[in-house]
Amino acid sequence: MKLDHSYYLGNNVVKIARNLIGKILFTHFEDVTCAGIITETEAYAGIRDKASHAYGGRRTARTSIMYHQGGVAYVYLCYGMHALFNIVTGPSEVPDAILIRAIKPFYGEDKINVRLEKSQVKHGIIEGPGRVSKALGIKVIHTGVDLTGNMIWLGNTGINIDPQDIICSTRIGIAYAEEDAQLPYRFNLSKRLAEVLKES
DNA sequence: CGTACGATCTGCT
DNA sequence: GCAGATCGTACGA
């Protein structure tokens, strides 16, 4: 059920980002477990990707966790108020990461709704990376958390997803990345399958 | 030390 | 559809 360390060590971050669609993201804070099915991801391909925080080998206090071996969390603050949750992948010293942009609530919806306050879940999916973190209780201090531990982890559903149900497109909010903004590094579940999942 | 701005979200028009 | 919120981080002086 729980994805183990080897899952995160592959050096093809785009492939992992695609594979994460349909996996379940769990959190366990304050004695409460919540979970959501991942429906949207974006890959950030280390030092060669202008959209990545590690572009050109940039390495600062904030981004140093990206150089850790895959399987830990990278959470950072965006626009001064949103904690964005990323999954670090690849071998040590390869700063690849995957941003989780949307989930479908799967477990602990009561707590999720409390955390989201006024902005409740619409059409069954929590869209927007800031809202995903808010819903699951993930904060900047969770940077570095081991994703095979008991605070944040990922699991398999056992549901098989047809490759045709994964839509690939360009990433959002990275105009500064110039030509790399055109890379097909964003993945989401097709509307059709999202509807099916909504039923379950 | 100063400053510009972001892997965004919400509420108002 | 658009502007405002809101502040840590990065980078240059």
The nucleotide closest to A61 (CA, C1' atoms): C9
A155 touches strand B (CB under 7 A): no
A191: pLDDT confidence band, cut at 50, 70 and 90?
confident
Measure CA to C1' and name the residue nearest C9: A62
Q: What letter would DSSP give residue A200?
A: -
The set of strand C positions with any atom below 7 Å of a protein CB reads 5-11
Domains: count for chain A: 1
Enter the pTM of the model.
0.96
The nucleotide closest to A143 (CA, C1' atoms): C8
Measure CA to C1' and name the residue nearest C11: A60
pLDDT at A185: 98
Look up the domain containing A184 and give its range. Answer: 5-199
CA of A59 to C1' of B1 (A): 22
- Tell me the CA distances in angstroms from A119 to A61, A89, A125, A169, A184, one per residue in order: 33, 31, 12, 26, 30
A53 touches strand C (CB under 7 A): yes
pLDDT tens-digit map of A20-59: 999 999 999 999 999 999 999 999 999 999 999 999 999 9
A170 touches strand B (CB under 7 A): no
The phi and psi torsions of A5 (rounded to 5 degrees) equal: -55, -40
The set of strand B positions with any atom below 7 Å of a protein CB reads 6-11
CA atoms within a 13 Å half-sphere pointing along the CA-CB vector of A44: 27
The pair of structure tokens assigned to A70 is: 């895959």
CATH assignment of the domain containing A57: 3.10.300.10
- CA nearest A105: which of A196, A153, A193, A34? A34
Q: Is the dihedral of CA A132, A32, A140, A93 positive or negative?
A: negative
- CA nearest A137: which of A115, A109, A105? A115
A126: pLDDT confidence band, cut at 50, 70 and 90?
very high
pLDDT at A195: 79
The pair of structure tokens assigned to A76 is: 């950072």
Amino acid letter, A103: I
A176 touches strand B (CB under 7 A): yes
Given a cut of 90, is residue A99 above it in pLDDT?
yes
Q: Do the beta carbons of residue A88 and residue A68 sit within 8 Å?
A: yes
Question: How many CB atoms neighbour CB A164 within 10 A?
Answer: 9
Q: Do the beta carbons of residue A37 and residue A103 sit within 8 Å?
A: yes
The phi and psi torsions of A107 (rounded to 5 degrees) equal: -155, 145
| A197 three-state secondary structure | helix
**Alpha-carbon radius of gyration of chain A:** 16
CA of A164 to C1' of B4 (A): 42
